Amino acid sequence: MENKRFYITTPIYYPSAKLHIGHTYCTVATDAMARYKRLQGYDVMFLTGTDEHGLKIEQKAAEAGVTPQQFVDDIVEGERGVKDLWKLMDISYDRFIRTTDDYHVAAIQRIFKKMYDKGDIYKGTYKGKYCTPCESFWTESQLVNGCCPDCGRPVIDAEEEAYFFRLSKYASRVRSLLVDTDFLQPRSRVNEMVHNFIDPGLEDLCVSRTSFSWGIPVDFDPGHVVYVWIDALFNYTTALGFCNDRYPQADFTKFWPADVHFVGKEIVRFHSIIWPAMLMSMELPLPKQVFGHGWLNFGGEKMSKSRGNVVDPYVLAERYGVDALRFFLLRTFPFGSDGNFSNELLIQTINTDLANDLGNLLSRTTAMAEKYFGGTLPSGQAEGPEDAGLLAAVNALRPRYEAEMEKYAFQNALAEVFAVIARANKYIDETAPWVLAKNEADKPRLARVLYDLAETLRVCLVLLRPFLPGTCEKAFAQLGVGEDLQTWDSAAAFGALPAAAALHKGENIFPRIDAAKELAALDAMMNEQKAAAEAAEAPAAPAAETAAPMEHRPEISYDTFCKVEMRVAEVRAAERMKESKKLLKLTVFDGERERCILSGIAKWWAPEDLTGKKVAIVANLAPRPMMQGKYVSEGMLVAADTPDGGCSIAFYPADLPAGSLIH
Ligand code: ME8
């Protein structure tokens, strides 16, 4: 007999701040997939967790005046923390791994040593471009206009003694894994990996750091801590008992290799290149698939903790219900592509699909069964010409749904179910049960119509269980459907529900939302949240003796400094931009020509306070396309951070000629 096992994972999230709807999106998708596989009878292992080491967390903890361990404990286990959020969202994970768990720490040390003993990890000196917020080293060729390709912020030169993983050794095997197999999905992501990362030449990967201490110590070389990706990626194996005895080794044998890792597109690189290479080094089987899902954007920008434009899943789930939020996320956005979150879309989806189509179908069916038959349908039922179309749609549903689910195309799978729900609503119009009810002789036909509706609903609800676990349970109760008829097998074909079905009208499971009222309330709430976040972000003016330590950039030579060309420039025009609240568009004269500089000072400076002023600019910065290439910023305005989080601009005397060199 075939042994049906399914192992699925989410990324392990950084608990550097509370999680937001982007993390919820991936976790809900993983949960839906896990529930779907359980429904099909698979023995499922669903793993999620948190990635708790690294510089960013060390810094955040210092800012909060607590130890890094206390900091992550609070975000993971504390009130409204990660675990609370997953409980609220009805996430059915089987295991939760924290990379600070003792067993994981010990296992990573063993894994690191094993790769070192094999010669796949060696000691060297790291020189590179480092993006502090992203904790990522980049090669020169990967930078976009000299900045981090992920977040667009400036990088710094960094150099230190470090251990390296021989990634280059595995380049050709990884390349053929990506090109010749279905390992990386969607397929469209393969080109980017091959052309941007593998073909330009894979460099060995820095896997230890000495510049911070919040990490897993390299036990044979004090001072070094394991740097992010070995620690983070092997979570998928240590949580199954690999190299540790917290879980039985049998779990690893049973569930490894993973069937699929769901990850956001920004970490596809780590999962599709570095992860297989490390597994090759450890001589372990490779996961069957990595699926890189798209981003949820907000107002056209990626929602992210560091940009401060996040949507709080708690607010939405508490207002509209957990299932409505789960459903919205998977019904609205194709999983492999980016999507733009908006409150309008959320409310519209809930009202259209859940309240109008599904909720109405259920309440009309149960209400009519009660009204016309006291809840229990008579078994004497009469077929009619309208039945065949509906039956055919229901009979075709499960395979169509399954085909989409197997591709992780949640949106399409749900579209299949909702097409049948729409078909059932149409069937009500075609059969007009309220007309049949007027005539005693039509009662057998009326009973059949209501049976068809109840049975259609039952099959649809079985397939909706992975998405709407709580509400399906309530709906089954209203339809009098027991557990034996909530199964995958029972959804294969129309007709499993006994003819004498007993229905009763219960609470309205998806009440309609007053869109105008809710939109106003949500907007007000989000503005408030943003203002609070901004206030919390702005550091208090530091007293001299408690000033935060300055973050220094590496020393540079005089020659390097001389490469920076700073000049006095005259601001000839300054304007706000409709595309961005943060940026001002400046037209400055540099002594030779006018150039455009986009500067992130709109929060603190009004255009009229700059026009006509003489300011300092970095004149030889490579031009940088911004706003999807709509503008090119040709330089940088020199400004100083102020203690309250604002910015101060130095003005030169009006008679100083534009173009004067600053040194
Ligand atoms: O990258 N839209 O953790 P992380 C969609 N610790 N998904 C989003 C999203 C958005 N706006 N924002 C976040 C890390 N996500 C590492 C992972 S794995 C071995 C280590 C989701 O807290 C998405 O799945 O930055 C993304 O990949 C993940 O959260 C990143 O979470």
Give me the amino acid identity at 276.
P
* Cα–Cα distance for residue pair 633/621, rounded to 1 Å: 9
CB 178 within 8 A of CB 272: yes
Distance 24 CA to ligand 1 centre (A): 10
201: exposed, middle or buried (C-beta count within 10 Å: 0-12, 13-18, 19+)?
exposed
Is residue 397 within 8 Å of residue 463, measured between CB atoms? yes
User: Which of the 8 DSSP states describes residue 495?
Assistant: T
Cα(258) to centroid(ligand 1), Å: 19
Q: Please, what is the average pLDDT of the chain?
A: 91
Model confidence over 389-435: pLDDT tens digits?
999 999 999 999 999 999 999 999 999 999 999 999 999 999 999 99
Spatial contact of 328 and 322, defined as CB atoms under 8 Å apart: no
C-beta of residue 233 within 8 angstroms of C-beta of residue 269: no
313-320 and 322-332 helices cross at what angle (nearest 10)?
110
263 Cα: distance to centroid of ligand 1 (angstroms): 7
Point out the ligand 1 atom lying closest to the alpha carbon of residue 26.
24
Q: Residue 360 Cα, ligand 1 centroid: separation in angstroms?
A: 36
Q: What distance in angstroms lies between residue 75's CA and the mean position of ligand 1's atoms?
A: 16
Give the chain's largest Cα–Cα span: 100
Label residues 238-273 b or e (16+ Cβ within 10 Å = b).
Answer: bbbbbbbeebeeebbeebbebbbbbbbbbbbbbbbb
pLDDT, one tens digit per residue, over 567-612 is: 999 999 999 887 777 789 999 999 999 999 988 888 888 888 899 9
- Name the region of 480 (left: φ>0; alpha: ψ -120 to 50; beta: rest): left
Residue 261 DSSP SS3: strand
d(CA 456, CA 369): 15
Split at pLDDT 50, 70, 90, the class of 544 is very low
Q: What CA–CA distance (Å, rounded) separates 76 from 85?
A: 9
Q: Given pLDDT bands bounded at 50, 70 and 90, which one contains residue 553?
A: low
In the predicted model, what is the mean pLDDT of residues 104-133?
93
Q: Indicate whether 538 pLDDT > 60.
A: no
Give the Å distance between the CA of 295 and the centre of ligand 1: 9
Report the nearest atom of ligand 1 relative to the CA of 262.
Answer: 24
Q: Which of 12, 25, 53 maximizes ligand 1 atoms within 8 Å of its Cβ, making it the mutation to test the pocket?
A: 25
Tell how strand 260-264 and strand 631-633 pair up: unpaired
CA of 557 to the centre of ligand 1 (A): 38
Distance 592 CA to ligand 1 centre (A): 46
- How far is the centre of ligand 1, averaged over its atoms, from the C-alpha of 29 (Å)? 13
The sign one gets for the Cα dihedral 403, 405, 409, 415 is positive
558-to-116, 522, 600, 620 alpha-carbon distances in Å: 39, 54, 29, 17
Residues flanking ligand 1, CB < 6 Å? 11-14, 22-23, 25-26, 51, 232-233, 235, 263-264, 266-267, 295-296, 302-304
Instruction: With cut-offs at 50, 70 and 90, classify the pLDDT of residue 164.
Output: very high
Give the ligand 1 atom nearest the CA of 297. 11
Name which residue sits closest to atom 12 of ligand 1, judged by CA. Answer: 22
Is the model's pLDDT at 645 over the cut of 70?
A: no
Nearest atom within ligand 1 for CA of residue 19? 22
| Ligand 1 atom at minimal distance to the Cα of residue 232 | 19
pLDDT in tens, 304-326: 655 666 788 998 999 999 999 99
Kindly report, residue by residue over 196-244, the tens digit of the pLDDT.
Answer: 999 999 989 989 988 778 999 999 999 899 988 999 999 999 999 999 9
Residue 540, CA distances (Å) to 62, 133, 505, 644, 646 in order: 15, 21, 57, 6, 11
User: Best substitution site from 53, 234, 267 to test ligand 1's pocket, by max atoms within 8 Å of Cβ?
Assistant: 267
Query: Which residue shows structure tokens 């509400």?
Result: 471
Q: Which has the closest alpha carbon to 601: 637, 632, 644?
A: 637
Neighbours of 612 (CB within 10 A): 13
What structural domains does the chain harbor? 347-535 (1.10.730.10), 558-662 (2.40.50.140)
